[in-house]
Structure 1
Amino acid sequence: MDPAPKPRLVWRTQWLIFLAFFRVGILGFGGGPSSIPLVHQETVKNYKWMDEEQFADTLAIANTMPGPIATKMAGYIGYRVGGVIGCLNGLFATVMPTALMMIFLLQLLQQYKDIPWVQHMSASVVPVVAVMLATMTWDFVKKSGETLGWVKGVWLILASLLVTEVFNIHPAIVILVLILYVLLPFGKGKVS
């Protein structure tokens, strides 16, 4: 049986969980999708709490559930790293910056929204978020190509794009269908 973690390590872990998800909460302009690359940066690249595949699995499952993606991921990753307290800590750290900004800054922004420099400031965030999402998308495309093979990976990407954008089927349904395919006997436990 493993010895209980030292109190100092527990507090340090909780502090790191708070810092990671506070940064996500404070920098995640534009809603949930814009926070995904930030969560990836903190959990995979910065703190190495999970690898690329685990992150992709967490993101896929989180996308199938209702609610904001940032809080679902903060809750799960916080739990995985720091238990129940880590879950609550991650949730609090993710939500707190947004709540504070809503309370204090949104009123100020609304008051000065017609000033041109305020309009340009708000519009300037959009390209940055687009680049962050494009970078993460390319990382997922590469991962798909490596794990499934490039032909199957590109085929699944194009099929998913067609189904979600042309036929307006919710991405959660597409993900659930693929999960069921993998779990059913003819799926043989894998998409490849």
Structure 2
Amino acid sequence: MKQKEIFLAFFRVGMLGYGGGPSAIPLVQKEVVSRYKWVDSDEFGDILALANALPGPIATKLAGYIGYRVGGVTGMLNAIFASIVPTIFLMILLLTSLNAFKEEPWVRGAAKAVVPVVAIMLLTMTWEFFAKSMRSSLGIGWTIIVLAGSFILLIAIGVHPAIIIFTLLLGALLKPDKKKEEGRA
């Protein structure tokens, strides 16, 4: 039963994740956090951060890791297969069809309409992570500092996102845990 759920979850992501990784991320989150509850929101954020730091397509990395975590090696292969087969099929079908009509206004309009939809999906997910970080032990002050610092490093200075993600992960790992220290006292 679990393998069937893994397949369905990532097949839906593969079918509906039009636009690549950015559009697939909120869909994966909906499936694995909200629908099946294989991971919680915090774990998903951690998995997403690590997956973004690694090379390759984000949807297949998320599928591989979550599939492995939920169903072992079989689950990993199942999730990767389920997430890439719809893309392969749809690429062949849609690109063959759309290529014949690529100069038509409705085709150009449909392609342009995808961008704002993906932007809203990413903005919604970003807001959820932002709100969660403000409620966490990080607090609103550090959340805003990390957000502003990351923005400056990314946009103004041009630092690669993987370096920022790695630095923040390293900082989180090296940060002393207040609960553990209170337990020792």
TM-score, normalization by structure 1: 0.88
Residue from 95, 107, 110 that aligns with 1:118:
107
1:20-169 matches, within 5 Å, as 20-147=9-136, 148-169=138-159
- CA RMSD, 1 decimal: 1.3
Which consecutive residues of structure 1, in runs of 5 or more, have no partner in the other structure? 1-11
Percentage of matched positions with identical amino acids: 54
CA deviation profile, 1:128-151 (whole Å, cap 9, x unmatched): 111111100100111111111011
CA deviation profile, 1:43-91 (whole Å, cap 9, x unmatched): 0011111101110110011111111110000000001111110000000
CA deviation profile, 1:89-142 (whole Å, cap 9, x unmatched): 000011111111112211211110111111112222222111111100100111
What is the CA distance between 1:189 and its match in structure 2?
5.4
> 1:188 maps to what in 2?
176
Which consecutive residues of structure 2, in runs of 5 or more, have no partner in the other structure? 179-185
What is the CA distance between 1:182 and its match in structure 2?
3.4
Aligned residues: 177
Q: Structure 1 counterpart of 2:106, which letter? A: W
TM-score, normalization by structure 2: 0.91
1:182–1:189 Cα contact (<8 Å) kept:
no
RCO higher in structure (CA 8 A, sep ≥6): 2
Q: Structure 2 counterpart of 1:146, which letter? A: R
Q: Structure 1 counterpart of 2:30, which letter? A: Q
CA deviation profile, 1:25-57 (whole Å, cap 9, x unmatched): 111111111110000000001111110111011
1:78–1:90 Cα contact (<8 Å) kept:
yes
Q: Structure 1 counterpart of 2:27, which letter? A: L
What is the CA distance between 1:181 and its match in structure 2?
2.6
User: Stretches of 4+ moved more than 6 A in 1?
Assistant: none
SS in 1 for 2:39: coil
Q: Structure 1 counterpart of 2:49, which letter? A: A
Q: Structure 2 counterpart of 1:188, which letter? A: P
